[in-house]
Amino acid sequence: MKNIQARENVLELIGNTPLIKLNNVTAGMKGSFYAKVEAFNPGHSAKDRIALYIINEAERKGILRPGDTIIETTSGNTGFSIAMVSILKGYRCILAVSSKSSADKIDMLRAMGAEVHVCPAHVPADDPRSYYEVAKRLHQEVAGSIYINQYFNQLNIDAHYHSTGPEIWNQTNGQITHLVACSGTGGTISGTAKFLKEQNPNIQVLGIDAYGSVIQKYHETREFDKEEIYPYRIEGLGKNLIPSATDFDTIDRFIKVTDEDSAHTTRELAKKEGLFVGYTSGAAMQGIKQFSEEGVFDENSVVVVIFPDHGSRYMSKVFSDEWMQQQGFMDTEKESQPSVQYIK
């Protein structure tokens, strides 16, 4: 067939996500603010980038062969991306998922053909029930399997060094002054920061962490403090261990955000910007608000924030009035979503 404008498959849609100016949630702040909206990837998150990059590298090195099994730990997004790539490349996919992951995410993983093992969220990383240890055990038990291990995989950083960083640099015409990003595995912020700082060492890289996570304390002291660990609600942000996929030397500072503030800001992005993005995107935007209040930005600042995923994965959480009320986050008389009118 001639002159048909089509992609070979959905994997060709990964990357080159848009940079969108934030106009309303940044009212009163100094600087110009732009969101790198990763929900425009076909799997609706930044994790598409690492899934395709790591699997391609494993194939290139002969580690991954036709019919093999891919095993991974995930809060949901990486798992979805790996499942998507596995479908098109003919691999079996087994995922160890945190029980903190939304029901929406778990259902989507199953819909993509993945075998899902849901593991308790609030146990130590070395507990045999943790999703880290369950994935390791499955890798030992399943013949012909590879374990992606995104928290300790240099390729996680490399994927963003070769894609997200160059895209942001080109999209801002080299004018970016600040990068703001959440840190979970650390691959997104580290790889993007590494590339950007090679172009301009003066770019400030600002990380977002959660209360209940050890990341900020480790960045400041290089000490792992178990006293920092306690349960929190945000998925894909912070950690109860120190991932080697986080290059702390590329990050200038961290700030912590609360579950409640991040939830409200996630909903605010939908209502004020028309950006239906996920909980960690709200956390990243909340971090910008707090940095702005501290006077980190000025009129000449060009701030790029990475919004990691899509809001559809949080319908049972931050976009649910019932869930918000159950967490004590919401005054239903003031903040509830518009009602639905059924015509009979």
Can you tell me the distance from the alpha carbon of 132 to that of 244, in angstroms, rounded to the nearest whole number?
Answer: 14
Report d(CA 140, CA 145) in Å as an integer.
8
Segments in the chain forming alpha helices (H) = 47-60, 77-89, 103-111, 131-141, 154-162, 164-171, 187-199, 215-221, 259-273, 279-293, 321-326, 332-335
Report the pLDDT value the prediction gives residue 218, as an integer from 0 to 100: 96
Q: CA triplet 305, 307, 311: central angle to 5 degrees?
A: 150
Residue type (1 letter), 329: F
Predicted model pTM: 0.94
Task: Give, in order, the Cα–Cα distances in Å from 66 to each of 54, 87, 88, 153.
Answer: 15, 12, 12, 22
Secondary structure of 155-196 in the HEC alphabet? HHHHHHHHCHHHHHHHHCCCCCCEEEEECCCCHHHHHHHHHH
Beta bridge partners of 254: 207
Residue 336: predicted pLDDT: 72
Phi, psi of 111 (to 5 degrees): -65, -25
Task: Please answer whether residues 55 and 65 qualify as being in contact, where contact means their C-beta atoms are separated by less than 8 angstroms.
Answer: no
Question: Which helix (H) or strand (E) is 307 found in, with range?
Answer: strand 302-307
pLDDT one digit per residue (tens) for the chain, 344 residues: 788 999 999 999 999 999 999 999 999 999 999 999 999 999 999 999 999 999 999 999 999 999 999 999 998 899 999 999 999 999 999 999 989 888 888 999 999 999 999 999 889 889 999 999 999 999 999 999 999 999 999 999 999 999 999 999 999 999 999 999 999 999 999 999 999 999 999 999 999 999 999 999 999 999 999 999 999 999 999 999 999 999 999 999 999 999 999 999 999 999 999 999 999 999 999 999 999 999 999 999 999 999 999 999 999 999 999 999 999 998 766 667 777 888 88
Report yes or no: 18 and 38 within 8 Å, Cβ to Cβ.
Answer: no
Active site positions, annotated: 47
Question: 3-class DSSP state for residue 122?
Answer: coil
Closest CA to 237 of 24, 46, 9, 12: 46
